[in-house]
Amino acid sequence: NSEDVRCKCICPPYKDHSGHIYNKNVSQKDCDCLHVVEPMPVPGPDVEAYCLRCECKYEERSSVTIKVNSVILLA
């Protein structure tokens, strides 16, 4: 399920841009600032410096397991 995977990038404040959290459904190999941060908040020359500050993590979950556990807890 495409909703069970995502890449989450946490980017701290940079120059006059406030910090922001970006989420996008991408493959694990594409889990980086250049593929996830859209639109890029900084101009071309600052992209590399901005992306080096961002922390990106690939996350997976099983929505089926979550639903089964919810049903068990509610029963």
Q: What is the pLDDT of residues 11-70, one digit of tens each?
A: 999 999 999 999 999 999 999 999 999 999 999 999 999 999 999 999 987 777 778 878
Banded model confidence at residue 4, pLDDT cuts 50, 70, 90? confident
Domain containing residue 55 = 5-71
Q: Which residue in 64, 68, 34, 39 sits closest to 49, CA to CA?
A: 34
Check if the beta carbon of residue 13 is closer than 8 Å to that of residue 49: no
Total count of domains within the chain: 1
pTM of the model: 0.74
Better-predicted residue by pLDDT, 9 or 2: 9
Contacts of 33 (CB under 8 A, 6+ apart): 9, 11, 50, 51, 54, 56
